[in-house]
Amino acid sequence: MRRLYPTLLLALAALPARAAIPAEQDSCLGCHGSDPTMTMDLPGAPGQDGKPQPEKLGLYVDQESFAKSVHGDMLKCTDCHTDKSDYPHDTKPFKTKRDVTVAFYEQCKKCHFSNYTKTLDGVHYQLAQKGNRQAALCVDCHGSHAIGHPGEPRTRVSSTCAGCHKNVAEAYGKSVHGKALTEGNSDVPVCTDCHRAHDVTDPRAGALSLRTADICGRCHTDEKLMKRYGLSTKVVDTYLSDFHGMAASLQKGKKGKGERLAAGCTDCHGVHNIMRPSDPTSTVLQANLVQTCRKCHPQATANFPKAWMSHYEPSMKKSPLVWSVQLFYYILIPFILLSLVIQIALHLWRVVVNR
Amino acid sequence: MSTHTAAAENQYIVRFTTKQRVEHFVTMIDFVGLVATGLPQKFYTARWAQGLIGFMGGIDNVRWLHRFFGIVLLISVVVHGAGAVSAILSRRVGFSMAVNKRDFSDVVQTLRYYLGLADHPAPFDRYDYKQKWEYWSLMIGNVIMILSGLTLMYPAVAARFAPGELIPAAKVAHSNEGLMAFLVISIWHIFNAHLHPDVFPFDACIFTGKISRERMEHEHPLELARLEGRPPPAAGHGH
């Protein structure tokens, strides 16, 4: 049987795409699958001049692309278009194409309940709740009839988000990660790797920034991955042992306001525009560092950036003063404690002997 | 005056002034405050530390509390230092905390006694070598903590006058010196003030300001002789 599978799969793949669509579709596709120019007029929402701007809603379904989609051999039209089982269809008073999308997107949750639930924690849903009709819904990212496997290829994720987040996408495209992605490198993070896909955190509140040690650390502590690029995996540990790392770690779990007093990775390296530290435009290039420190430490002078040990552990070469102080205490503390404990022990021994 | 009343009158001797007792009390409370708000920052990945920080209202609060206790320490050190200097200058008296040659021979003598090589420990004056060591360790430690603490509190100002590397060095010094102070106090001070067989369970002298004549005879015979106008006793007493 097991040997039969590949043969069966091959046989399936060889069949014409049309064959995968369940037969029930035929009655729908009789109208919606034949005429690519088939549209419906919607009155449209009032524009700036107060007059409605009519829109045309496309009613044609490309059978081939639907058949190739993840749902192609699984769903019938009426599974999603639940109100269209009869002909003539019930007409709903839609004014705009967006009205149609908003009305239908919740169909996804019937099957994809856990991901739908996740979106309820996401920033897009929060915006939609506040009345923002442009906030992304399932179909805005996944598409409707031509839904492919999410994240295949990875480059598609970033171009999907770019549909709305144009400025961010532009900055990302020029960054060390974005450039590599366009060159076909799939090691680099795409939008959803940091922001998540369904429960997208609102980055403006600062909570995301405090979590950057974990987020960036997922790749930047991966020995195998970093070796490919000659990068250090100590970046997170050295950050966490510094004041910034301590304060950020302790604050990331907390909700609510409160001063966000510690820099996360992105506060120094940039967010979407992260460059190689050797790039002349990098915010962490030695020459640009004072400027970066001043974002939080307005009184910083030329000496100040040296207070940060550039993700190096203290060593005689890199930071002799720090290294010497550390060594001094590594010797002094055990020496002092041992002397005191020995003296106490001798003292008590004498008391016992005298009795 | 009968011998009986004379003995009763002499039963207790005033050892510490009110100022000294207040200073000790403030230092004690302040030290607990500094340790409680400082150590959890050093060991912030530990569960107990995170619990303690949460209990004190989060890291924002803990940092402000730590700075408050730090400034109290700064003030108390300045007040104490100024008091000591002016006392020495105005009264033209010797500083009884000053370390002298005798302290070193006292160490040898006492260790020899502990090891059974001498019959009695060294007789001490107002402060024995252990007390002097603890006092000076605390004083030097305080100065290190205050200077490194101020550097960490105002890193940008510090970097204006000194190389930036001073700031991470100050952090290493502050964190290690603080840990050492905590360990020394927990081991040495708790032993000497609480678990020491002569004072167990609690040496109240620094709180009441008074010490029994018997203990003085035992622990500070040279001072007692000087107070009573007698020549120093020939030999000390065994502990």
| Stretch 184-223 of chain A: residues touching chain B, C-beta under 8 Å | none
The helix or strand, by DSSP H or E, that contains position B62, with its residue range, turns out to be helix B58-91
A316 touches B at CB < 8 Å: no
Comparing CA positions, the residue from B68, B154, B62 lying closest to residue A250 is: B62
In the structure, what pLDDT confidence band is assigned to residue A8 with cuts at 50, 70 and 90?
low
Does the beta-carbon distance from A307 to B159 stay under 8 Å? yes
Average pLDDT over residues A26-37: 83
For B8-95+129-219, the fitting CATH number among 1.20.950.20, 3.50.50.60, 3.40.1210.10, 3.20.10.10 is: 1.20.950.20
By CA distance, what is A336's nearest residue in B? B184
Does the beta-carbon distance from A300 to B156 stay under 8 Å? yes
Residue A34 pLDDT > 50, yes or no?
Answer: yes
Question: Per residue in B142-156, pLDDT tens?
Answer: 999 999 999 999 999
* Residue in B60, B63, B183 nearest the CB of A337: B183
Residue A42 pLDDT > 60, yes or no?
Answer: yes
Could you check whether the bond before residue B201 is cis, i.e. omega within 30 degrees of 0? yes
Determine the distance in angstroms separating the CA of B219 from the nearest CA of chain A, rounded to an integer: 14
Residue A234 pLDDT > 50, yes or no?
Answer: yes
Instruction: State ipTM.
Output: 0.90
Q: What is the DSSP letter of B185?
A: I
Residues from chain B that touch A322, judged by Cβ atoms under 8 A, are 165, 168-169, 172
Q: Which of A304, A308, A313, A349 to mutate to test the interface with B (most CBs of B within 10 A)?
A: A304
Residues from chain B that touch A250, judged by Cβ atoms under 8 A, are 44, 50, 53, 58-59
Q: Which of the two residues, B10 and B68, has the higher pLDDT score?
A: B68
Counting residues of chain B whose pLDDT is more than 90, the rounded percentage is 68
Distance CA A140, CA A128 (A): 13
In the structure, what pLDDT confidence band is assigned to residue A21 with cuts at 50, 70 and 90?
low
Distance CA B40, CA B52 (A): 7
Q: Which region among A100-104, B55-59, B73-77, B159-163 has the lowest average model confidence (pLDDT)?
A: A100-104
A338 touches B at CB < 8 Å: no
Q: Which of A255, A308, A310, A340 to mutate to test the interface with B (most CBs of B within 10 A)?
A: A340
Does the beta-carbon distance from A322 to B165 stay under 8 Å? yes
* Residue in A259, A337, A350 nearest the CB of B113: A350
Does the beta-carbon distance from B116 to A350 stay under 8 Å? yes
A256 touches B at CB < 8 Å: no
Question: Per residue in A51-102, pLDDT tens?
Answer: 888 888 888 998 888 888 999 888 888 888 887 777 778 777 788 888 888 8
Does the beta-carbon distance from A336 to B184 stay under 8 Å? yes
- Domain residues of chain B, as ranges? 8-95+129-219
* Residue in B156, B171, B183 nearest the CB of A299: B156
Does the beta-carbon distance from A349 to B114 stay under 8 Å? yes
Note the pLDDT of residue A2.
53
Distance CA A310, CA A242 (A): 11
A345 touches B at CB < 8 Å: no
Note the pLDDT of residue A16.
47
Comparing CA positions, the residue from B160, B100, B95 lying closest to residue B129 is: B100
CA angle A99, A103, A109 (to 5 degrees): 145
Residue A253 pLDDT > 80, yes or no?
Answer: no
By CA distance, what is B51's nearest residue in A? A250
Residue A329 pLDDT > 50, yes or no?
Answer: yes
Residues from chain B that touch A261, judged by Cβ atoms under 8 A, are 59-60, 63
* Residue in A249, A258, A304 nearest the CB of B156: A304
Question: Per residue in A312-328, pLDDT tens?
Answer: 999 999 999 999 999 99
Note the pLDDT of residue B24.
96
Residues from chain B that touch A301, judged by Cβ atoms under 8 A, are 156, 159-160
Q: Which of the two residues, B142 and A153, has the higher pLDDT score?
A: B142
Comparing CA positions, the residue from A349, A352, A354, A345 lying closest to residue B191 is: A345
In the structure, what pLDDT confidence band is assigned to residue A156 with cuts at 50, 70 and 90?
confident
Mean pLDDT of chain B: 90
Note the pLDDT of residue A283.
92
The pair of structure tokens assigned to B28 is: 């004690």
Residues from chain A that touch B159, judged by Cβ atoms under 8 A, are 300-301, 303-304, 306-307
Mean pLDDT of chain A: 86
A352 touches B at CB < 8 Å: no
Average pLDDT over residues A273-299: 92
A321 touches B at CB < 8 Å: yes
Residues from chain B that touch A286, judged by Cβ atoms under 8 A, are none
Residue B93 pLDDT > 80, yes or no?
Answer: no
Average pLDDT over residues A10-36: 64
Q: Which of A297, A309, A315, A322 to mutate to test the interface with B (most CBs of B within 10 A)?
A: A322
Average pLDDT over residues A258-281: 87
Q: Which of B42, B59, B154 to mutate to test the interface with A (most CBs of A within 10 A)?
A: B59
The pTM (predicted TM-score) of the whole model is 0.82
Residues from chain A that touch B41, judged by Cβ atoms under 8 A, are 246
Average pLDDT over residues A19-32: 67
A312 touches B at CB < 8 Å: no
Residue A35 pLDDT > 90, yes or no?
Answer: no
Note the pLDDT of residue A255.
54
The CB-based long-range contact list for B192-197 (8 Å cut-off, 24+ gap) reads B192/B130, B192/B134, B197/A348, B197/A351, B197/B239
Query: Phi, psi at residue A188, to the nearest 5°?
Result: -80, 155
| Stretch 107-166 of chain B: residues touching chain A, C-beta under 8 Å | 111, 113-116, 152, 155-157, 159-160, 162-166
* Count of pairs with CB atoms under 8 A, one residue in A, one in B: 121
Does the beta-carbon distance from B172 to A341 stay under 8 Å? no
| Stretch 109-128 of chain A: residues touching chain B, C-beta under 8 Å | none
In the structure, what pLDDT confidence band is assigned to residue A311 with cuts at 50, 70 and 90?
very high
Under 8 Å between Cβ of A249 and A240: yes
